[in-house]
């Protein structure tokens, strides 16, 4: 019978610990939409699966403070606006704040020198 060396024991121990971290992380991970609002989660999942859309988390209050004009939109109107932007330039980034159940994006308005924030609260 072949004896086990210290190096082999260390390698097996390292592999066991690394496996534990991988299993723990994969079990503990949830979707990036951690909202309790199912409708909000559906919107985020929809945009994240569509080609030409980038979906990123961003704090809504910070985004608003970086914008010159902030405007609320009805969800269906926002979807149409986002689609028009995607069709005109080929891509669009839709931001979400799962803590506040808000989806928002940077759009255009009557003054091209201003930054417009359009949002929908779910």
Q: For position 35, what pLDDT does the model report?
A: 83
Q: For position 14, what pLDDT does the model report?
A: 54
What is the reported pTM? 0.69
Angle at 108 between CA 106 and CA 110, to 5 degrees: 145
Instruction: For residue 34, give every residue at least 6 positions away whose Cβ sits within 8 Å of its Cβ, in sequence order, or none.
Output: 98
pLDDT tens, per residue, the chain with 122 residues: 566 677 766 565 655 565 555 444 444 444 455 688 888 899 899 998 989 999 999 999 999 999 999 999 999 999 999 999 999 999 999 999 999 999 999 998 899 999 999 999 98
């Amino acid at each position: 019978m072949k004896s086990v060396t210290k190096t082999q024991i260390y390698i097996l121990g390292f592999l066991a610990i690394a496996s534990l971290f991988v299993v723990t992380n994969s079990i503990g991970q949830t979707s990036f939409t951690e909202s309790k609002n199912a409708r909000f989660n559906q919107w985020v999942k929809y945009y994240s699966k569509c080609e030409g859309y980038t979906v990123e988390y961003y704090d809504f209050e910070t985004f608003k403070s970086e914008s010159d004009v902030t405007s609320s939109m009805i969800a269906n109107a926002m979807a149409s606006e986002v689609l028009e932007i995607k069709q005109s330039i080929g891509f669009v980034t839709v931001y979400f704040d799962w803590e506040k159940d808000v989806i928002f994006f940077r759009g255009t308005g009557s003054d091209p020198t201003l930054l417009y924030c359009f949002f929908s609260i779910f």
